[in-house]
């Protein structure tokens, strides 16, 4: 009987414990505690000697965990309890004074903010590397013409540089999104205590400054119950994954035999165990596949928060695994995507061939007639008839002879073929943001400002 009660308690304790995953926060937890202890000392809430003992004890714990000399025992409920218990074991009763004018509720809120601030900087660094790889490939492919698609139907010719820079813009936006989220997040909740503030003469500004925050949270109830910053960052991660996943899908298509636009380096593909000809784009597929996990993490956190009354509720402990999983996934995916892109070989001849075989210059043919005075809608109709004629006779616009063109309109002259060549189609699109080489320069300069 007694034994089974014991077992049940163990099960409940394990269920309740966050130490197996929040041990990741040990550095932030100790850093936050040190700032708190320094403030308690400065305010005369503990004596200078007590403060020094606590600071030395915390430093020792941090050094030992860093060195692998101190293991997280599974007796503690979470990282906060673990550090405090270890401190008291090391320096005696004075360790019990650390938790004066504080609660685990504001402690965990500060720990996650410190952690996410660093991690957001790391993700930004990885985005920079990806952007650098995009810019490098773009620089090498300013003249590489391929079909631009809408509805995955060949639409108009573009350069591969232009196409890649479109992804560059997405990742640049991702960087600004992280920056915005961090700016909003970077206020210190420590000193909110359990929820109502404290009767001790604390100095919250001092703690905030010590920890590199821009200010303090202004409402103690909000300070301990807000997890908006986690949601915002998870949403930013989800969008990064959306962008990576679209890019990954294109890499999968481009490296297929049907397209053959690019060839991935062997380190980013795998062979098949039974089909010797195969070179599978597994890394790109995994990036596409892992996108779902990050969406799931975002949805999980939103769902955890939606029905919570103020202020802290234990449900909020569920924030951590969602955040950690999303972070890990995003970092892995960015980490593999940048070198995959950088080492990817392009096949400009195949891209050009794909652009040349259809009627991708039909818009330009219509524009030719417009330049000679025909209203666009009439030009559009005439070109439609020419395309139908080509399809019926197995011809293409580039090689259809002038006399056949003139059957549809007397406006066609012998400069026609030059006007609808692929290079002309690309080079003439000089509008801001367009695909002409001159229009790419400002796009490249803008993205370079992020590096």
Nearest distance from residue 77's CB to ligand ARG, in Å? 7
Host H or E run for residue 146 = strand 145-150
Host H or E run for residue 335 = helix 319-342
Nearest distance from residue 226's CB to ligand ARG, in Å? 13
Q: Which stretch binds ligand ARG (CB under 6 A): 101-109, 162-170, 234-242, 245-253?
A: 101-109
Closer residue to ligand ARG, CB minimum distance, 229 or 261:
229
All residues at 6 or more sequence positions from 150 whose CB lies less than 8 Å from its CB, including other chains: none
End-to-end CA distance of the chain: 65
Residues with a catalytic annotation lie at 151, 272
Closer residue to ligand ARG, CB minimum distance, 226 or 364:
226
Is residue 104 at the binding interface for ligand ARG, with CB under 6 A as the rule?
Answer: yes
Q: Which stretch binds ligand ARG (CB under 6 A): 60-68, 209-217, 281-289, 314-322?
A: 314-322
Is residue 230 at the binding interface for ligand ARG, with CB under 6 A as the rule?
Answer: no
Closer residue to ligand ARG, CB minimum distance, 18 or 346:
18
Is residue 33 at the binding interface for ligand ARG, with CB under 6 A as the rule?
Answer: no
The sign of the torsion formed by the CA atoms of 310, 311, 315, 319 equals positive
Is residue 255 at the binding interface for ligand ARG, with CB under 6 A as the rule?
Answer: no
Residues in the chain: 451
Is residue 311 at the binding interface for ligand ARG, with CB under 6 A as the rule?
Answer: no
Nearest distance from residue 107's CB to ligand ARG, in Å? 7
Is residue 108 at the binding interface for ligand ARG, with CB under 6 A as the rule?
Answer: yes
Nearest distance from residue 308's CB to ligand ARG, in Å? 12
Count Cβ atoms within 10 A of the Cβ of residue 77 and give its class: 0-12 exposed, 13-18 middle, 19 or more buried. middle
Closer residue to ligand ARG, CB minimum distance, 259 or 324:
324
- Applying CB under 6 A, among 50, 78, 106, 226 the residue interacting with ligand ARG is 78
Distances, alpha carbon 414 to alpha carbons 39, 75, 360, 406, 417, in Å: 84, 87, 20, 10, 7
Residues numbered 315 to 344 that lie near ligand ARG (CB under 6 A) are 316-317
Closer residue to ligand ARG, CB minimum distance, 164 or 224:
224
β 262-263/345-346 pair status: antiparallel
Q: Which stretch binds ligand ARG (CB under 6 A): 33-41, 102-110, 334-342, 343-351?
A: 102-110
Nearest distance from residue 312's CB to ligand ARG, in Å? 6
Is residue 130 at the binding interface for ligand ARG, with CB under 6 A as the rule?
Answer: no
All residues at 6 or more sequence positions from 368 whose CB lies less than 8 Å from its CB, including other chains: 379, 412, 416, 419, 420
Q: Which stretch binds ligand ARG (CB under 6 A): 103-111, 144-152, 277-285, 370-378?
A: 103-111
Nearest distance from residue 24's CB to ligand ARG, in Å? 11
Closer residue to ligand ARG, CB minimum distance, 306 or 314:
314
Q: Which stretch binds ligand ARG (CB under 6 A): 32-40, 100-108, 154-162, 403-411?
A: 100-108
Whether residue 286 contacts residue 215, with contact meaning beta carbons closer than 8 Å, is answered with no
**At residue 428, what are phi and psi to the nearest 5 degrees?**
-80, -15
Closer residue to ligand ARG, CB minimum distance, 24 or 90:
24
Look-up: residue for tokens 């080489």? 437
Alpha carbon 319 to chain centroid distance? Answer: 18
- Burial profile 79-97: b = 16 or more Cβ within 10 angstroms, e = fewer: bbbbbbbbbbeebeebbeb
Distances, alpha carbon 441 to alpha carbons 129, 138, 307, 341, 433, in Å: 20, 11, 50, 21, 9
Beta bridge partners of 345: 263
Is residue 18 at the binding interface for ligand ARG, with CB under 6 A as the rule?
Answer: yes
Binding site for ligand ARG (CB under 6 A): 18, 22, 78, 104-105, 108, 312, 314, 316-317
């Amino acid at each position: 009987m007694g034994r089974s009660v014991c077992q049940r308690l163990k099960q409940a304790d394990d269920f309740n414990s966050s130490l197996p995953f929040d041990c990741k926060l040990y550095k932030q937890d100790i850093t936050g505690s040190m700032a708190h202890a320094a403030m308690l000392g400065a305010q005369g809430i503990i004596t200078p000697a007590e403060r020094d003992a606590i600071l030395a004890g915390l430093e020792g714990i941090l050094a030992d965990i860093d060195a692998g000399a101190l293991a997280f025992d599974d007796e503690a409920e979470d990282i906060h309890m673990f550090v405090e218990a270890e401190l008291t074991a090391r320096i005696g009763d004075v360790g019990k004074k650390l938790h004066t004018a504080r609660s685990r509720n504001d402690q965990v809120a500060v720990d996650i903010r410190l952690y996410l601030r660093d991690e957001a900087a790391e993700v930004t660094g990885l985005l920079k590397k990806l952007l650098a790889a995009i810019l490098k490939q773009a620089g090498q492919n300013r003249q590489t013409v391929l079909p631009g698609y809408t509805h995955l139907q060949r639409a108009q010719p573009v350069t591969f540089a232009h196409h890649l820079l479109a992804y560059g813009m997405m990742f640049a936006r991702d960087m600004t999104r992280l920056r915005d989220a961090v700016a909003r997040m970077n206020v210190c909740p420590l000193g909110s205590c359990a929820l109502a503030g404290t009767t001790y003469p604390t100095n919250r500004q001092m703690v905030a400054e010590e920890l590199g925050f821009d200010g303090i949270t202004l409402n103690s109830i909000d300070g301990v119950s807000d997890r908006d910053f986690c949601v915002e960052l998870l949403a930013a991660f989800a969008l990064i994954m959306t962008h990576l996943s679209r890019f990954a899908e294109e890499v999968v298509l481009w490296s297929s035999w049907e397209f053959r636009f690019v060839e991935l380096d062997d380190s980013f593909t795998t062979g098949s165990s039974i089909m010797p000809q195969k070179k599978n784009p597994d890394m790109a597929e995994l990036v596409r596949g892992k996108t779902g996990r990050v969406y799931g993490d975002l949805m999980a956190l939103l769902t955890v928060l939606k029905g919570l009354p103020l202020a802290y509720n234990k449900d909020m402990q569920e924030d951590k695994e969602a955040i950690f999983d999303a972070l890990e996934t995003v970092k892995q995916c960015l980490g593999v995507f940048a070198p995959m892109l950088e080492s990817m070989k392009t096949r400009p001849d195949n891209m050009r061939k794909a652009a040349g075989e259809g009627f991708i210059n039909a818009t330009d043919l219509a524009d030719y007639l417009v330049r000679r005075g025909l209203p666009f809608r009439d030009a559009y109709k005439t070109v439609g008839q020419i395309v139908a004629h080509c399809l019926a006779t197995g011809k293409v616009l580039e090689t259809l002879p002038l006399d056949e063109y003139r059957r549809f309109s007397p406006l066609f002259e012998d400069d026609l073929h030059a006007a609808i060549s692929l290079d002309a189609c690309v080079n003439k699109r000089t509008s801001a943001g367009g695909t002409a080489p001159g229009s790419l320069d400002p796009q490249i300069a803008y993205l370079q400002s992020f590096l």
